[in-house]
Amino acid sequence: MSPHDHARTLERQRRMGKYGIVVLPFTPGQIRKQPAEVLATIGDALQAARGRPPVTANLRTVPAAA
Per-residue model confidence as pLDDT tens digits over 16-44: 888 888 889 999 999 999 999 999 999 99
**Which of the residue ranges 6-10, 35-39, 54-58, 60-64 has the most confident prediction, judged by mean pLDDT?**
35-39
1: which residues sit within 8 A by CB, 6+ positions away?
Answer: 9
Report the 10 Å Cβ neighbour count for 19. 11
CA–CA separation, 51 vs 62, rounded Å? Answer: 28
| Whether the predicted pLDDT of 54 surpasses 90 | no
- Strand, helix or coil for residue 12: helix
Closest CA to 18 of 65, 51, 55: 55
Closest CA to 24 of 51, 43, 2: 43
Q: How confident is the model at residue 62 (pLDDT cuts 50, 70, 90)?
A: confident
Which is more confident, 25 or 66? 25
Mean pLDDT of 45-61: 82
- The pTM for the full model equals 0.66
